[in-house]
Structure 1
Amino acid sequence: METLYPLVLGVLVIFALMAMKSRFIGFATQKPEDLADRGPAFDLRQHLSGPILCEGVIYGPTGRVTSRFVADMVGEWNGNTGVLRERFRYDSGDVQDRCWTLRLGNDGRIVATAPDVVGEGAGVAAGPAVQMTYRIKLDEKAGGHVLNVTDWMYLMENGTIMNRSQFRKFGITVAELVATMRKVEA
């Protein structure tokens, strides 16, 4: 019994350190206001409007590439309400469609819905960045899990949007997505 005590204590210390790391250090701790005055303003009505080409990679929980994709997107806006239609073509041959509805507040806040999003996503635009958080329900082929997503988009000086998303289940990162989005000239 005495030899079990240090093992249990060690496991508890490791879990505490992991919880502190995810709460105080790294990707999930970024705040939109950290970037508010660090570049050109990301206006979703302008930068997510018209045809957009998206190319990306999805990494699994071990950091290895699990999938690559190319997506065609089209954004249409009517005032502060926009629709972003996406068609993803994965390296496996699978095709996935998603249609986001985005509502912008005058304070930079964003409310987002899509058929595979549980409830509403919430976000904020600040300077050259947009942060969104939402819960997404995966296809039954992918297990049907509901994952918590933190999604960051960064507007580059040339108009390209860099996207990084982390997908978590029970606080553990299970996937990460890195993608670029570029306007397609009509």
Structure 2
Amino acid sequence: MTCLKRAVPAGLLALALLGCAAPPTPATYAQQTPQLDLQQYFNGTLDAHGMFQDRAGKVVKRFTVVMVCHWDGDVGTLDEDFHYADGTREKRVWTLRKTAPGRFVGTAPDVIGEAVGEVAGNALRWKYVLALPVDGTVYHVNFDDWMFLIDEQVMLNRASMSKFGFDLGAVTLSFRKRHKDGQ
């Protein structure tokens, strides 16, 4: 019984400390390698595979994306062609602009205002509001979008979606950069 009396307060203390932990920022990953060079990685053609899961974890949509990317100085264009499992298609063209070392802003026709991005180490965090059409109504949805460079070809992405502070679900993607020969 004495051990149990000591274990319960220790367990509660551990839970309390975990609850107080600050969420990660890009700086959390500043020492992680490989270092992400956004202008280098998003240059050329990339293939992506992804899914959207609702807040209960159910997979609602599956898709592939072909991205053709190029930069002219500090301005980049990411031309994305989405192909959904249900046969629908979508196109989004991002314009990215480097504003300072490790800092970017992005625009696209369905992004409200500007996306704000920060790179540190192997991580990129984008925060933006997307005009998302659902059943004939357009909702403005907050995206907290994290990308992590795994190696020179592969990047993993998880974007949390919310509205009025309520979790709506998440998008998960894997990117693979094509070799210069198209493979």
TM-score bracket for the superposition, by shorter chain length: 0.7 to 0.9
1 or 2, which has the higher strand percentage?
A: 2
Contact 2:47–2:178 (8 Å) recurs in 1: yes
The alignment's TM-score, normalised by the length of structure 2, stands at 0.84
Q: Quick one: structure 1 residues 142 and 91, their matched pair in 2 at CA, closer, same or farther if it must change by over 3 Å?
A: farther
- Count the aligned residue pairs: 162
Select the residue among 157, 160, 167 that pairs with 2:151: 157
> Residue 47 of structure 1 aligns to which amino acid in structure 2?
Y
1:20-63 deviation per Cα after TM superposition (whole angstroms, max 9, x unaligned): x7xx668xx22000000111111111101111000011101211
Write out aligned runs for 1:135-174 (5 A). Answer: 135-139=129-133, 141=135, 143-174=137-168
Structure 1: tracts of 5 or more residues without a match: 1-20
Find out whether 1:46 has 2:40 as its counterpart. yes
Equivalent residue for 1:130?
124
> Residue 115 of structure 1 aligns to which amino acid in structure 2?
P
Moved over 6 A (4+): none
Structure 2: tracts of 5 or more residues without a match: 1-18
Write out aligned runs for 1:19-38 (5 A). Answer: 29-38=23-32
The alignment's TM-score, normalised by the length of structure 1, stands at 0.82
> Residue 60 of structure 2 aligns to which amino acid in structure 1?
T
Worse overlay, 138-147 or 127-136? 138-147
Identity %: 34
Separation of aligned partners in 2, 1:53 and 1:163? 13
Over the residues paired in the alignment, what is the CA RMSD in angstroms?
Answer: 1.6
1:133-170 deviation per Cα after TM superposition (whole angstroms, max 9, x unaligned): 00000125463110000000100025300000011011
